[in-house]
Structure formats: structure tokens, C-alpha cells
Amino acid sequence: MNVLIGDEFKDVFKGLASLVDVGGGTGTVAMAIAKNLPDMKCIVLDLPPVVANLQGSGNLEFVAGDMFEKIPLANAVLLKSILHDWNDEECMKILKNCKKANNRKWKS
């Protein structure tokens, strides 16, 4: 996983202070990002039973929640293995919550 977050990919995350990994499970991807980008806050959002016994550290935090209800605020949202599991209506709910969670300023 560190290969995906190596020096050649750091520009992808340039200017971002925070990222939420929606449905991030045990945090494998977010841990790799947090390790390679120590100034970025990484949040893993997953269902309570998934993150109940997981401990964050430094710039990594685990949040119990439901992506259909609310996604934590962040500069970027990662949907690594999510949308393909849901129908169009459910995907729209997830994407609308992603938009609400994104705290970057956008031009209209």
C-alpha cells in the first residue's frame, strides 16, 4: 500500500489538511496515507461493530457512523470500495453526504 502513497503520488494530496475514508474498514488505506503524510488528518468512517475496538494514533482517527446518515467533515473524501455495492438511489445518498462533508470552498 505504501507504493500508492509514495513520493510520486504526494502531489495528489497537496493542499489537503484532512481526508475521510468512507467505509474504510480496519483502516489499511488510511493508515498508509497517515504514515506517509503525517501533517494530514485521516479519518476512517465505518459501522460501529467494525471500528469498535480500533485505536487511532497521531493523525489517524476511527469514527463509528453510517455513511447514509452523515460523513465527518474533511477536505477530501475517499470512496475506495463503496459505490459499486449500492444501487443508484443509495449511491446518490452517499454522494450527497460526501458533498456535505467536504469543507473546501468551491466556486458556484
The parts of the chain modelled with pLDDT lower than 50 are 108
Q: Which pLDDT score, from 0 to 100, does residue 92 have? A: 98
Fold of 2-101: Rossmann fold (3.40.50)
Q: Which pLDDT score, from 0 to 100, does residue 97 have? A: 96
Hey, what's the cell of 65?
A: 457512523
User: Residue with C-alpha cell 480496519?
Assistant: 26
How many Å apart are CA 42 and CA 60, to the nearest integer? 5
Active site residue 84: yes
Q: Which pLDDT score, from 0 to 100, does residue 73 have? A: 96
Q: Which pLDDT score, from 0 to 100, does residue 4 have? A: 60
How many Å apart are CA 8 and CA 41, to the nearest integer? 20
Triad 14, 74, 28: Cα angle to 5°: 80
Q: Which pLDDT score, from 0 to 100, does residue 108 have? A: 46
Q: Which pLDDT score, from 0 to 100, does residue 14 have? A: 83
Considering the candidates 84, 87, 105, 108, report the single residue annotated as catalytic: 84
